[in-house]
Amino acid sequence: MDRIRIKGGRQLKGEIVVSGSKNACLPLMVASLLTDQPLTLKNVPRLADITTMIRLLQQHGVEISATPGENGHSHGTTLTLKAGKIASTTAPYDIVRKMRASVLVLGALLAREGEARVSLPGGCAIGARPVDLHIAGLKAMGAEIDIDRGYIVAKAPEGLKGARYTFPKVSVGATENLIMAAALAKGTTVLDNAAREPEVTDLAECLSKMGVSISGIGTETLTIGGMERLTGTTHTVIPDRIETGTYAMAIAMTAGDVELVGGRLDLVEAAAQSLRAAGVVLKKTNRGIHVGRANGLHGVDVMTEPYPGFPTDLQAQMMALMTRAEGASMITETIFESRFMHVPELARMGANVTVHHESALVRGVPKLRGAEVMATDLRASVSLAIAGLAAEGETTLHRVYHLDRGYERLEEKLAACGAEIERLKG
């Protein structure tokens, strides 16, 4: 298994190109199941999760071709996906257990084929993560759903019917699943308390281009007019706001000065506000966002919330930054129940963090020391890399496959800005 070694203490300077968004791209790829015509996606990042989604869709019968983007530039890979015929309506355990986003094929397969059998994803490192809302929403649209030997078995022999469904809790994945199901349902579907994350908006905009009428895009009420057939289209994936925020925090951690090329400030407003309060300077430029640091770094309180609030996917990185701030910071996680797995690892590097239920009190320390560390999920892993960039001495990050799921060429991007970072193979 690969490891990443970082020698801390270098300021990041230069530019980093922001990749296309992983979490926008995954549902967009699934949208290819809704039509027999080709869907072309541009700015696709090269990541392990994208490869897993390609494998899943291929076994459903989707033909996929890839054209690599210019190396180092923001254009990413172009994928063309064509689901002429659906070869299988089963999403097997072997793939779903690797990536929970696989459950997004449920709504699309059910809407197109009238049946789907999708493995239940099970728990994961950041929490129990049930899929009850996906199921309840599809049932409201007329699906019959049973759980059989670990699989969600869904049927809608007469097709899905438009319905009004109010999410009892905001869910990104359930909103995406239901939008895709509604796109081929008979009649109009109204989704209340829908997720407003930019990734949901990107999916809705792509589906509009495929012929679905969707109103309320970007709001908590989405009205979707179901169509009999959808057409193919070409769509450019939005830049990754979590990657953008992650690098902004890494730059702040090293008191660096970097332009995030292709980054969109409007997608990271809540994180930008917290960073500014901590003493970080973020400015919109013609090409993206410029990140620098004014004077010292101050502790700020942060609470994760659904969009447009502070994203849970930046909580661990913000905590890493706050370990070196002057004063204290209270970080509250309201989305996932076990998303503080990075705390004991940060403590091994000298951080002072006390967790009480859903809040972590971070008291800034004058220095961190490099150590051997490992994490159990993607964002926790990158938070340890951020800590390593500012730590005295050497940090070795184990289980790098977590990072490879969601950060394209992380070590190359950081090394190009002056970080002493390398991947150790095997």
For residue 423, the tally of other CB atoms under 10 A from its CB is 17
Q: Which of 127, 142, 292, 309 binds ligand EPZ (CB under 6 A)?
A: 127
DSSP-assigned beta bridge partners for residue 261: 17, 288
Q: Is 32 exposed, middle or buried (0-12, 13-18, 19+ CB in 10 A)?
A: buried
- The interface mask with ligand EPZ, positions 80-119, x = CB under 6 A, is --------------------xx------------------
* Residue 312 makes contact with ligand EPZ by CB under 6 A: yes
Just list the catalytic residues.
124
DSSP-assigned beta bridge partners for residue 29: none
**Cα distance from N-terminal residue to C-terminal residue, the chain:** 5
Nearer to ligand EPZ, 23 or 32 (CB): 23
* 406-425 residues near ligand EPZ, rule: CB under 6 A: 406
Per rule CB under 6 A, count of chain residues that contact ligand EPZ: 24
* Residue 173 makes contact with ligand EPZ by CB under 6 A: yes
* Residue 238 makes contact with ligand EPZ by CB under 6 A: no
* Residue 45 makes contact with ligand EPZ by CB under 6 A: no
Nearer to ligand EPZ, 48 or 330 (CB): 48
Cβ proximity of 351 and 365 under 8 Å = yes
Find the angle CA(404)-CA(406)-CA(411) to the nearest 5 degrees: 55
* Residue 44 makes contact with ligand EPZ by CB under 6 A: no
| Distance in angstroms (rounded) separating the CA atoms of residues 406 and 261 | 18
Cβ 369 to ligand EPZ shortest distance, Å: 27
* Residue 130 makes contact with ligand EPZ by CB under 6 A: yes
DSSP-assigned beta bridge partners for residue 423: 4
* Residue 379 makes contact with ligand EPZ by CB under 6 A: yes
For residue 94, the tally of other CB atoms under 10 A from its CB is 11
Cβ 178 to ligand EPZ shortest distance, Å: 11
CA-nearest of 179, 155, 379, 344 to 271 is: 379
* Residue 28 makes contact with ligand EPZ by CB under 6 A: no
CA-nearest of 349, 335, 355, 413 to 384 is: 349
Q: Which of 19, 52, 77, 171 binds ligand EPZ (CB under 6 A)?
A: 171
| Distance in angstroms (rounded) separating the CA atoms of residues 267 and 239 | 9
| Distance in angstroms (rounded) separating the CA atoms of residues 94 and 96 | 6
* Residue 378 makes contact with ligand EPZ by CB under 6 A: yes
CA-nearest of 417, 353, 424 to 394 is: 424
Nearer to ligand EPZ, 175 or 189 (CB): 175
Provide the binding-site residues for ligand EPZ, judged by CB under 6 A.
23, 26, 100-101, 127, 129-134, 169, 171-174, 199, 312-313, 335-336, 378-379, 406
